[in-house]
Structure formats: C-alpha cells, structure tokens
Amino acid sequence: MCEDYEDSVMGLPLIGDKFPDMEVVTSHGKMRLPKDVEGKWMILFSHPGDFTPTCTTEFIAFANRAAEFEKLNTALVGLSIDQVFSHIKWVEWIEENMKVKIPFPIIADHGSVATQLGMIHPNKASNTVRAVFIVDPKAIIRLIIYYPQEIGRSVNEVVRALKALQFCDEYDLATPENWPDNEFLKDKAILHPARDYKTAMERKKGIGKDCYDWWFCTKKV
C-alpha cells in the first residue's frame, strides 16, 4: 500500500509549477480550479476534518480576515475529506454558535484532490494535513506550507506571506525574515544578488549606507 501511495504522488506539484486543472464539489456548488478564480490569487488550504476544535479556530480566523484577503485580490478555498453536507452543517454550526459567517467555499474531497496535491501523509493518519497553497493570478504555485494535524496554523503568517509575494512581484525585490517587521532591517527589502562583477563592484560603493557588502544590499520602498 505504501508503494502504491508513493507511485500515486510522483510528480506532485511544486513551487513554480502550474496549479493542476480540476473540477471540484464545494459547499458553494461545483467549481473549476483554477479557472473560476482566474485573475485572482488563490489560497487553497486543507484541514483534517469538520467539527474539530483546531480546524474550527482556523476557519474563524480565515473568515475574520476575509475582507483583507478580498482587498488583496485573493480567493480563499478550504478542503477536507468530508462530504458536502458535513461542510454545510459545520459552517451553519460555526455561524450559529460562534457568530462567524464562513464566506468561502470548502471542497468536499473524496481523496483524489488531496492525493494529487500531497495533502495526505500516511504516517500522519489518513485525513489531510494542514496544507496551504498560495497560487498567483497566472495559476502558478508560489508557496506551499504543511503543518501536522496537531498544530493550528497562523493565519497572520499566511497573510504576511501573501503580501510579501505580491510585494516581491511588484518591485522585483526579496524580503528578509518576518518582513515587514524584521528585527534588523525593519521594513527594508533586499536586492537580488549581483550577477556580474561590474554590478558587484558598484554595489560595494554603497557599503555603510544601503549595503553591508556587495552581496547584501537593501532598499527602502
């Protein structure tokens, strides 16, 4: 069985790959992904199961940031290996008991999507781990994060990573640890490494101001 699983996940999508086309059933009806979110960023995130405490806290957090994701031109899509009526009932329970409306669709997967995207890790049970895929408007996978079932995600980190990706695309820069709140560089960005001797020597002139060395230069945007 393990060998069969390994064979089935050969060629899993990786960062930089195009997100695979798929038709899915969700709590909002059928969807074609990534076609139905064309022109937007998409965050697809899996959870181990409906009616579980940690997953409930995550969905509340995603829902509370939904307006911010919308401003960032980003569609949220959840997923677990539960039937669609379970998703609907769980969403209803959250709204009635936690007073939070879940505005985004949740994929009702029978395992095919989760297997295709590497969301099932056999040594961590048969349900989905807490995966996060950030996909850009060109349907390219830009970030993948996996959390085990026992650890709840930080939605703040998902927002931060999304903003960093959008920033890097807009300005053709890189970002430091925990940007824009890095302890050392604060909200400064980082220039891509010099790719030729002339550029390296030019950057060396900026040591003490914007550069720490020719390979480590920053920029305030």
* Domain CATH number, residue 217: 3.30.1020.10
Same domain, 143 and 69: yes
Q: Which of 153, 181, 197 is the last residue of a domain?
A: 153
Q: What is the pLDDT of residue 11?
A: 61
Q: Is the same domain home to 41 and 130? A: yes
Q: Are residues 140 and 192 in the same domain?
A: no
Say what the pLDDT of residue 209 is: 87
> Cβ distance 77 to 49 under 8 Å?
no
Q: How confident is the model at residue 1 (pLDDT cuts 50, 70, 90)?
A: very low
Where residue 67 sits, what CATH number does that domain have?
A: 3.40.30.10
In one letter, which amino acid is 93? Answer: W
26 and 80 housed in the same domain: yes
Domain final position from 109, 126, 153:
153
| pLDDT interval class at 126 (50, 70, 90) | confident
Asked whether residue 165 is domain-assigned, the answer is no
pLDDT higher for 50 or 12?
50
Asked whether the predicted pLDDT for residue 82 surpasses 80, the reply is yes
In this prediction, residues 8-16 reach a mean pLDDT of 73
Structure tokens belonging to residue 122: 């056999």
Please give the pLDDT value at position 5.
Answer: 41
Residues 50 and 136 occupy one common structural domain:
yes
- C-alpha–C-alpha distance, residues 141 and 134, integer Å: 6
Q: Are residues 81 and 182 in the same domain?
A: no
Please indicate, yes or no, if residue 160 is contained in any of the structural domains: no
pLDDT at 7: 41
Domain shared by 176 and 145, yes or no: no
Q: Residue 56 pLDDT > 50, yes or no?
A: yes
Clarify whether residues 116 and 177 are in a common domain.
no
Condensed to tens digits (0 to 9), the pLDDT of residues 156-171 reads 999 999 999 999 999 9
**Do residues 187 and 181 touch, judged by C-beta distance below 8 A?**
yes
Total domains present in the chain? 2
Q: Is there a domain that residue 123 lies in?
A: yes
178 and 149 both lie in a single domain: no
Distance, C-alpha 18 to centroid of its chain:
14
25 plus 77 within the same structural domain: yes
Largest CA distance in the chain: 64
> Which of 55, 168, 211, 217 is an active site residue?
55
Q: What is the mean pLDDT of residues 73-93?
A: 98
Q: Is 55 a catalytic residue?
A: yes
Residue closest to 141 by CA, chosen among 16, 10, 12: 16
Is 133 in contact with 44 (CB distance < 8 Å)? yes
Angle at the Cα of 161 (from 155 to 162), degrees rounded to 5? Answer: 90
Assess whether 136 and 181 both reside in one domain: no
Would you say residue 97 has pLDDT above 70? yes
Residue 69 lies in a domain: yes
Q: How far is CA 125 from the centre of its chain?
A: 22
Identify the domain containing residue 216 by its residue range: 172-221
Position 6 pLDDT exceeds 50: no
Task: Give the pLDDT confidence score for residue 128 in this predicted structure.
Answer: 94
Q: Using the CB atoms, write b or e for 118-146: b if 16+ within 10 Å.
A: bbbbeeeeebbbbbbbbbbeebebbbbee
Residues 149, 214 share a domain: no
Average model confidence (pLDDT) across the chain: 94
Q: Which two tokens stand for residue 110?
A: 């029978």
Domain membership of residue 120 (yes or no) is yes
Mean pLDDT of 131-135: 98
pLDDT of 191-221, one tens digit each?
999 999 999 999 998 898 899 999 999 999 9
